[in-house]
């Protein structure tokens, strides 16, 4: 039998995505056609939310709301005593005893119309007693700060999360490597810097929406735009005391996720409400304002860095202290802090490292997964500090990075041996593409030109047992149906999975159908669609399923022809024999099998290929030192560079050229890889120049697109180049690694370095707006 890894992957032709069954597409979209999908019994939910950042709930009176005609049920935290959480089980579906952020759910109403439900909220009377809030994560980490979660020691957690009892520190990840204090004496140059990276919002075009229904027999169905249907099933079922086998989550295509639709955010609310009105579906659709601050936001970060190098520019030591503003719940944020810890050197070999990565409870919105999972924030500090150190020692900044960047075989900060990586090639190609080292004239006397570069690395941030599974079925006409549990959120994963099936089986790409929408009752298990892991993890499961189906088919045909399966192959949808030169179409035989001689019965039958994958080689890290054999499965690395001009009269940044170079292991679909790089660059620039959740005493001041600016296609008229580097990953399908999050990780730092090269100023952190750049130039005396 032909070796699968030598099969050429087919490119998609004609269609940008594999076709889905028409009926399934209609069913998936029907979440928005209420009466068609759910009937006239659909109820509409609205949520009573806390107006205070930190307060004790003294009483809740729901009697007036219950009496309003059209109201079917009103619920509070008293109805749902159990906590919920992915990594740290630290929050209630509805607040009990106290509220911890502005927007926290306090009560829920389901009514015949959304207008009635909204009116009922005004009739709910809540009496609060104000408590001292915490808005600064540095202060929050001190013994003087008021405790936001006094019961934190009781919260369930996995063994790799380390809360500090009696504090607001919900996770403290440490790295202790070498002798940092002794290394400072050997350094010829040392720099110390502090940066602040603010909260931002994911702003998906599709806001969160979910519909839940409890059947009278106790079975539950949740329809939700979700990156994590299986995690939602598990977490919500456990919290409400339901068997996972009795809970079903259906997840159609997602209209933008970027992490905000991972885990459980608002989805538990309609399920909880629906539990009190069996037989009636309950729909909750968030307003745009609610979307901004009542669900996950990207955590803010205060990062303090001290880095030193010798006279040759070799980095000898780093001290990195990070205060992650986790918000009122850190059920997801504690793992971001952990990822920040084991990535805390950036993509550099540094022999002496002292890291404290701390997740701090504050009375800000809840921090959760966001594209990059903390890496944009972390690298914003590291890559600017490396630029400053290179300048202080008098070395070219590209040469400095090439000297110190991580290479295959290096023992990195956690004690893990780095796998082969093309990072050096990424640096060289990105630098060359912007003519690094060549001083070029600006387009006007009122503009200053500069160039900047930044590196990145990121590993899939996940527990050690995050698994994937897949199923491949032949159809009568020779087509194949692939079932997976990973979600299509615009990244093209269904296209890539279809390519893998086609390449493994030896059938045309057009013959592969990907089943949707995702449905936990029928779809194979997938941990979550996060961490840029589907191409690698789910891809491995898909390849195994396709291999399984292929082997079954070839064994049946070999038996029918009385040949050895090793002499057979499948090419372009036909089984061929290299020995006898027999050939046969795969049509029908994958379902009906093949007749015995003289039609005396049949052999074979419906072919179903199954595959699964889970990395078994990730090890624990020591709680005090962060050391272990293998902290993560792998790292994707890359570099990004900018050639820009800064207007000296306004501070406006004009990007002349942007270059992104990433080692993706193997590009299964180069066009999709480039599209991800381009999209990541754009989102990175948006967070670098425009975006910031403006909080004042815990209240968001800009919860609309009027005041919260995001980049659009009109902001990207400049030249941009995407460079693919391929250093194959040993455990990836065809050597592939993920690339979904990585392109936006180095953007803020690379742009900040280019601004400094142009006008000699640095800001404490983004957004790098024209106003802030101009004021910084004024303060520095660059302009009058």
Q: How far apart are CA 738 and CA 619, in angstroms?
A: 21
- DSSP track, 262-274: SS-SSTHHHHHHH
* Residues with Cβ within 8 Å of residue 37, at least 6 apart in sequence: 27, 30, 31, 211, 223
Laid out side by side, the sheet with 300-309 consists of: 169-177, 352-361, 315-327, 300-309, 189-197
* Tokens 């880095």, residue located: 307
Largest CA distance in the chain: 97
Element at 223 (helix H, strand E): strand 220-224
Q: How far apart are CA 226 and CA 299, in angstroms?
A: 21
Q: How far apart are CA 298 and CA 288, in angstroms?
A: 17
* Residue whose C-alpha is closest to residue 500's, from 311, 492, 442, 591: 492
Structure tokens at 617: 């080689």
Question: Phi and psi (nearest 5°) for 546?
Answer: -70, -40
Q: How far apart are CA 355 and CA 359, in angstroms?
A: 13
Q: How far apart are CA 125 and CA 114, in angstroms?
A: 19
Q: How far apart are CA 729 and CA 717, in angstroms?
A: 35
Q: How far apart are CA 500 and CA 369, in angstroms?
A: 28
Peptide bond into 641 cis (omega under 30): no
Exposed, middle or buried: residue 211 (CB in 10 Å: 0-12, 13-18, 19+)?
buried
- Between 747-759 and 770-780, two packed helices, what is the crossing angle to 10 degrees? 40
Q: How far apart are CA 433 and CA 411, in angstroms?
A: 30
Q: How far apart are CA 159 and CA 472, in angstroms?
A: 36
Beta-ladder partners of 317: 308, 352
* Residue whose C-alpha is closest to residue 455's, from 392, 406, 391, 418: 406
How far, CA to CA in Å, does 217 sit from each of 38, 93, 233, 275?
18, 23, 18, 12
- Looking at the annotation, which residues are catalytic? 741
* Residues with Cβ within 8 Å of residue 36, at least 6 apart in sequence: 30
Q: How far apart are CA 470 and CA 610, in angstroms?
A: 6
- 6-12 long-range CB contacts below 8 Å, 24 or more apart? 7/503, 7/504, 7/506, 8/503, 9/499, 9/500, 9/502, 9/503, 9/668, 9/669, 9/734, 10/499, 10/502, 10/503, 10/508, 10/509, 11/499, 11/509, 11/669, 12/495, 12/498, 12/499, 12/509, 12/669
On whether the CB atoms of residues 209 and 286 are closer than 8 A, the answer is yes
On whether the CB atoms of residues 530 and 369 are closer than 8 A, the answer is yes
* Residue whose C-alpha is closest to residue 596's, from 564, 568, 562, 560: 560
């Amino acid at each position: 039998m032909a070796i699968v890894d030598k099969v050429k992957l087919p490119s998609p032709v004609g269609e940008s995505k594999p076709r889905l069954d028409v009926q399934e597409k209609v069913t998936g979209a029907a979440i928005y056609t209420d009466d068609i999908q759910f009937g006239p019994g659909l109820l509409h939910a609205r949520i009573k939310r806390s107006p205070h950042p930190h307060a004790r709930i003294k009483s809740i009176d729901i009697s007036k709301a219950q009496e309003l005609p059209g109201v079917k049920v009103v619920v509070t935290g008293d109805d749902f005593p159990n906590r919920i959480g992915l990594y740290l089980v630290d929050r209630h579906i509805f607040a009990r005893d106290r509220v911890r952020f502005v927007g926290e759910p306090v009560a829920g109403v389901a009514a015949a119309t959304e207008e009635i439900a909204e009116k009922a909220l005004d009739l709910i009377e809540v009496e609060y007693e104000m408590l001292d809030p915490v808005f600064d994560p540095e202060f929050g980490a001190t013994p003087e700060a008021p405790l936001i979660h006094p019961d934190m020691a009781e919260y369930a957690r996995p063994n790799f999360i380390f809360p500090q009892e009696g504090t607001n520190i919900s996770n403290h990840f440490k790295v202790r490597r070498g002798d940092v204090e002794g290394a400072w004496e050997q350094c010829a140059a040392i720099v110390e810097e502090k940066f602040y990276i603010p909260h931002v919002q994911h702003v998906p075009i599709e806001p969160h929406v979910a519909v839940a229904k409890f059947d009278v027999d106790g079975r539950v169905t949740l329809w939700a735009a979700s990156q994590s249907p299986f995690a939602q099933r598990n977490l919500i079922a456990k919290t409400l005391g339901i068997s996972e086998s009795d809970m079903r989550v259906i997840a159609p295509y997602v209209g933008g996720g970027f992490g905000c639709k991972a885990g459980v955010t608002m989805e538990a609310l309609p399920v909880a409400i629906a539990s009190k009105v069996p037989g009636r579906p309950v729909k909750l659709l968030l307003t745009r304002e609610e979307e901004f601050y009542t669900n996950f936001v990207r955590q803010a970060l205060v990062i303090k860095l001290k880095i030193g190098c010798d006279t040759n520019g070799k980095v000898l030591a780093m001290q990195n202290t990070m205060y992650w503003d986790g918000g009122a719940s850190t059920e997801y944020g504690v793992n971001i802090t952990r990822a920040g810890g084991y990535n805390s050197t950036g993509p550099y070999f540094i022999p002496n490292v002292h890291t404290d990565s701390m997740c701090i409870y504050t009375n800000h919105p809840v921090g959760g997964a966001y594209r990059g999972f903390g890496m944009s924030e972390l690298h914003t500090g590291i890559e600017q500090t490396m630029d400053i150190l290179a300048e202080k020692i008098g070395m070219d900044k590209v040469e400095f990075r090439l000297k110190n960047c991580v290479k295959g075989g290096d023992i990195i900060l956690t004690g893990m041996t780095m796998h082969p990586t093309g990072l050096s090639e990424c640096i060289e190609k990105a630098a060359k593409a912007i003519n690094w080292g060549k001083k070029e004239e600006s387009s006007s006397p009122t503009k200053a030109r500069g160039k900047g570069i930044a590196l990145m690395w990121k590993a899939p941030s996940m527990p050690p047992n995050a698994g994937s599974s897949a199923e491949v079925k032949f159809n009568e006409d020779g087509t194949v149906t692939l079932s997976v549990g990973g979600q299509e959120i615009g990244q093209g994963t269904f296209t890539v999975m279809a390519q893998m099936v086609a390449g493994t089986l030896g059938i045309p790409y057009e013959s592969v159908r990907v089943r949707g929408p995702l449905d936990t009752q029928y779809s194979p298990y997938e941990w979550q669609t996060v961490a840029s892991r589907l191409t690698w993890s789910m891809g491995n499961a898909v390849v195994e399923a396709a291999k399984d189906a292929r082997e079954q088919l070839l064994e049946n045909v070999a038996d029918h022809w009385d040949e050895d399966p090793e002499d057979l192959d499948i090419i372009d949808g036909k089984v061929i024999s290299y020995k006898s030169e027999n050939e046969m179409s795969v049509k029908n035989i994958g379902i009906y099998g093949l007749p015995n001689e003289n039609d005396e019965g049949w052999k074979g039958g419906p072919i179903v290929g199954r595959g699964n994958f889970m990395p078994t080689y990730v090890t624990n890290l020591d709680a005090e030192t962060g050391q272990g054999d293998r902290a993560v499965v792998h790292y994707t690395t890359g570099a990004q560079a900018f050639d820009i001009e800064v207007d000296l009269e306004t501070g406006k940044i004009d990007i002349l050229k942007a270059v992104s170079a990433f080692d993706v292991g193997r590009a299964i679909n180069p066009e999709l890889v480039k599209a991800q790089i381009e999209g990541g660059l754009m989102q990175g620039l948006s967070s670098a120049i425009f975006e910031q959740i403006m909080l004042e005493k815990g209240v968001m001041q800009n919860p609309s697109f009027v005041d919260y600016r995001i980049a659009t296609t009109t902001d990207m008229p400049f030249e941009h180049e995407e460079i693919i580097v391929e250093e194959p990953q040993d455990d990836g399908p065809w050597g592939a690694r993920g690339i979904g999050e990585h392109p936006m990780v180095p953007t803020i730092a690379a742009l900040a370095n280019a601004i400094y090269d142009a006008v000699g100023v640095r800001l404490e952190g983004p957004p790098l707006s024209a106003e802030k750049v101009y004021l910084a130039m004024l303060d520095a005396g660059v302009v009058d």
